[in-house]
Structure 1
Amino acid sequence: MSRPARDVQAFAARATDAELDDLRARLAAARLPEPETVERAGRDRWDQGVPLADLVEVVDHWRTGYDWRWFEDRLAAIGQFRTTIDGLGIHFLHRRSPRPDAVPLVVTHGWPGSVAEFVDVVDELAEPRDPAAPAFHVVVPSLPGFGYSDKPATTGWGTEKIAAAWVELMGRLGYPRFLAHGGDWGGNITTVLGGRFGSHVIGIHSTFAQGPPGLSTDGLTEDERRWAEETRHFWGHRAAYAKQQATRPQTIGYSLVDSPVGLLAWLLDKFADWSDTDDSPFERIPRDRVLDDVTLYWLTRTGASAARIYFESHDSLDPDLRVDVPSAITTYPRDVEKCPRPWAQERYRRIVRWRTADAGGHFPSLEVPDSFVADLREGLGAVLAAA
């Protein structure tokens, strides 16, 4: 049974000046390797990872120009809180809509993301400028081990337990029935929410559909076959990070917690590789939004604890799980995993809206925020009409 809202406490985060000074000192003292040995022009220059010149430029801005206080103030303006579920402190943003017709919505991030992915879209979802647009009471939790949520001290906090915790969280906020959205790990958790908790979840919107394993490519269109091949290639050639974090998160964690430059490179590599850009991720994602995310990991020392979600849940989605609540699925063209619709329909059995976006990659709320908000509204609108 859900606890009352009094078990939810307002939360304020404020890094000390000493912590920020320490970060700048570490950045100034960083030891860097020699440049990469591949061609240093075009997208191919990322073939060995983050190019030295790009990293140096971002490190210099992080040390001399970036304003962490802006991000702290932004979180405070949205509204942030904590509550304890199954012995673990969970941090979340909560932006109530003033609209009487607003519907509760839980939005779940993934890795290498955080609540920082959604700070620029929360207000428009809760209080749209267009009075005809749907409005939502938006809840954005920090995954266990991420940001200002607690770090689990034992195993067990995988996607199934996280989904159950989100049901408890929403109940405490007075939302016994709610919508859910997510991408990356958030998409996986959203799938579990829709499949396991249909009495609480009105419907879902996801940018990460995952069909059951072992399905045949027979009958797929040419584009769908290409999607399947691109996903296979990603896991075969660009997913060493996932294998490392799924098998040895503690080992990489020492570097991620001790070296801000190491942390930046580990995360920036994914913002570059997974976004819809020709070269730098900053073609679409503002540099300071990436640094908001990286600095949040740094100040909370969550490089290792966030990596452990792979140890807990990599390849763990129940192959027999089926989602019977209304589902809207959007695929972004430069995302790293794209599920053909015939495969998705084997798991999501009431797809009420299926869309391939015109632009965007793995981080659409950062890359194409206006399009992301419009698509999320339309998708959830279709879900509500079918519920």
Structure 2
Amino acid sequence: MFTEVFIGLVAGGVILYLVLRRRGHVLKTEDGWWGVGPVPDGEQDSSIQPFMVTTSDAELQDLHRRIDQTRPVPSLEDSQFHYGFNSKYLEEVVSYWRNHFDWRRQVDKLNQYPHFKTNIEGIDVHYVHVKPKRVPEGTTAIPLIMVHGWPGSFYEFYGTIPLLTEPSDPQALVFEVVCPSIPGYGFSEAPHKKGFDSVCAAHIFHKLMSRLGFKQFYAHGGDWGWLVTTNMAQLQPKTVKGLHVNFAPAPKMDFTMCLSLLLGRHFPKLFGFTSADIERLYPCVQKLFVNSITESGYMHIQATKPDTAGRGLNDSPVGLAAYILEKFSTWTNRDFKNLEDGGLTRKFSLDDLLTNVMIYWTSGCIIPSMRFYKENFSKGLNHPHMKVPVSVPAGFASFPNELMHTPKLWVQKKFHNLLTYTPMARGGHFAAMEEPQLMAEDLHHFICRVEKTKAR
């Protein structure tokens, strides 16, 4: 009798453990209200309204007046980008911005794709929604949400969108692309209450995709977009058919990861490390430490006192441009800090870079975009999503000049169903904007793998 009871208890315990473990793999959240004041009585407006990016003479006159009144500061001799944005080159960028940059033409470029807004949980959410012009007979367009990060915007994906919605290869998959602005970024309304983090953004984007009629879809993200789309997969794994990211910081170190870091240099095959892994994981300790400190100062400010620093950036277009564009230099290639011009136009055009800056300037979103750091980092390592693995099919594009390198073994610690891990030929942090062709190809490769797997 005792033996039967004991076996029953053990079996029951095992079943309970497996059930709870399974439940633990789904992130939980609740509806929020991020509008002004309390939740209003009655049914909320869920309509979708067309939106156009616009500009006015008064807006441009104010911008030019502020640029004209900037106070130049000379750079130190032979300082390149080691002290931040080189002032000498900044004067050239500002001169181009003031005298040659055509914002109205760029507005037309932004409006080449349909824009919309819809109110979700009390705030207006902006997004670009691009449907393919032609879909091969017998097939349907594949819905894909692409989420940006900081200091980027939905504009990062403008080079990738046509490659996905109008592929030159008649055999390629055709996508229907949705590019939202994270609330507080671009033309999405900023939350009016504290606590709006990546999980809240993920919850809102699920509501957005549902409102657009998508029962299932794929997701892609980089920078903060990596975390938002990862949270989307954690919240509703049956809705997200597959998750593709190009940024995946190492999860909390466990025994296996510590062992791989200690022994991987000498026994790379034991941990599946490649020559690229060895090269990027094992610079001298001093260099690794210095690089980490040098490139993370902004994060400490934004995770603690975003409103203080942000106020100055919100008032000065030149200060805003320097703050944002410096990241497009060193985050694209760390060696660019050795160049007087920061290598900015080696990968991007000034028109594209200034268009991204203008999205921040005209929408006045720099402060709420910085607050996103405080809301996410205030919970530290105790946020529930840190402990929840991703079970949906996942793909990772490993760009060689990304801020931090994550070997396949480490990526798999978070993404348990990693179908593709692609060492990319070139590119850095702003991969979709820098290398749209490579990004589109890897997205296509990954989603083809998922579709074939599901078809079996």
- The answer to whether structure 1 residue 236 and structure 2 residue 293 are counterparts is yes
1:51 lines up with 2:86 in the alignment: yes
Q: Counterparts of 1:137 and 1:10 in 2: how far apart (Å)?
A: 17
Q: Which of the numbers 321, 330, 338 marks the counterpart of 2:397?
A: 330
- SS of residue in 2 equivalent to 1:319: helix
Kindly indicate whether the alpha-carbon contact (under 8 Å) linking 2:163 and 2:437 is maintained by their aligned counterparts in 1: no
2:186 alignment partner, SS class? coil
Contact 1:4 1:172 in 2 (8 A): no
Query: What residue in structure 1 maps to residue 259 of structure 2?
Result: 218
Write the distance in 2 (CA, Å) between the matches of 1:174 and 1:229: 47
Largest Rg, 1 or 2: 2
Q: Which residue of 1 aligns with 2:430?
A: 363
Match of 1:274 among 317, 327, 331: 331
Tell me the equivalent position of 2:55: 15
**Change in CA separation of 1:348 and 1:79 when aligned onto 2, cut-off 3 Å:** same
Q: Match for 2:212: what amino acid?
A: L
**1:303 corresponds to which of 344, 366, 382:** 366
Q: How does 1:127-138 map to 2 (within 5 A)?
A: 127-138=166-177
In structure 2, runs of 5+ residues without a counterpart are: 1-30, 32-42, 266-275
| Structure 1 position 6, deviation (Å) | 6.6
Letter of the aligned partner of 2:61 in structure 1? Answer: D
Q: Look up the equivalent residue of 2:352 and give its one-letter code.
A: R
The answer to whether the 8 Å contact 1:352/1:386 transfers is no
| Alignment correspondent of 1:208 | 247
Deviation at 1:211, TM superposition (A): 3.5
Deviation at 1:5, TM superposition (A): 11
Distance 1:191 1:234, change over 3 A: farther
- C-alpha separation in 2, matches of 1:171 and 1:75: 25
| C-alpha contact 1:82 1:91 (8 A) present in aligned 2 | yes
Check whether the contact 2:152–2:356 (CA below 8 A) recurs between aligned residues: yes
- C-alpha change, 1:70 and 1:5, in structure 2 (3 Å) is farther
Identity %: 32
CA–CA separation in structure 2 for the residues paired with 1:144 and 1:50: 28
**1:34 is aligned to 2:74:** yes
**Counterpart contact for 2:219–2:243, Cα < 8 Å:** yes
TM-superposed CA distance for 1:210, in Å, is: 3.2
Distance in 2 of aligned mates of 1:47 and 1:209: 27
1:146 is aligned, of 185, 195, 200, to 185
AA aligned to 1:244 is I
Cα distance in 2 for partners of 1:320, 1:384 equals: 28
AA in 1 matched with 2:52:
A
Counterpart of 2:75 in structure 1: which amino acid? P
- Residue ranges of structure 1 left out of the alignment (5+ in a row): none
**Aligned-pair CA distance for 1:225:** 5.2
Look up the match of 2:97.
62
- What per-residue deviation string (whole Å, max 9, x for no partner) do you get for residues 9-57 of structure 1? 11112111110111112112111222134x25xxxx2110111121111
Are 2:186 and 1:123 equivalent residues in the alignment? no
The structure-2 alpha-carbon separation of the partners of 1:184 and 1:233, relative to structure 1 and needing over 3 Å to count, comes to farther
Q: CA deviation at 1:319?
A: 2.4
| Matching residue within 220, 223, 226 for 1:184 | 223
Which deviations, in whole Å up to 9, do the C-alpha atoms of 1:299-355 show, x marking residues without a partner? 111111111110111356632110011000011111102212111111100110001
- In structure 1, the partner of 2:18 is none
**Helix, strand or coil at the partner of 2:259:** coil
**Could you say which residue in structure 2 is the equivalent of 1:254?**
311
Q: What is the rounded CA distance, in whole Å, between the counterparts of 2:185 and 2:289 in structure 1?
A: 28
Asked if residue 284 in structure 1 is aligned to residue 347 in structure 2, the reply is: yes
Report the Cα offset of residue 92 of structure 1: 0.3
Equivalent-residue separation in structure 1 for 2:412 and 2:282 (angstroms): 19
Separation of aligned partners in 2, 1:270 and 1:79: 29
State how far apart, in whole Å, the 2-side matches of 1:234 and 1:12 are: 41
| Residue of structure 2 in register with 1:345 after alignment | 412
Match of residue 81 from structure 1? 116
Q: Tell me, what secondary structure is at the counterpart of 1:161?
A: helix
SS at match of 2:353: helix
Contact 1:115 1:142 survives alignment (8 Å): yes
Match of 1:313?
376
Matches of 2:258 and 2:214, distance apart in 1: 41
* TM-score, structure 2 as length reference: 0.79
- Aligned residue pairs, count: 382
1:141, CA displacement in angstroms? 0.3
Deviation, 1:384, is: 2.6
Measure, in 1, the Cα distance between the counterparts of 2:125 and 2:290. Answer: 36
**Aligned counterpart in structure 1 of residue 302 of structure 2, from 241, 245, 270:** 245
Range 70-79 or range 173-182, more displaced:
70-79
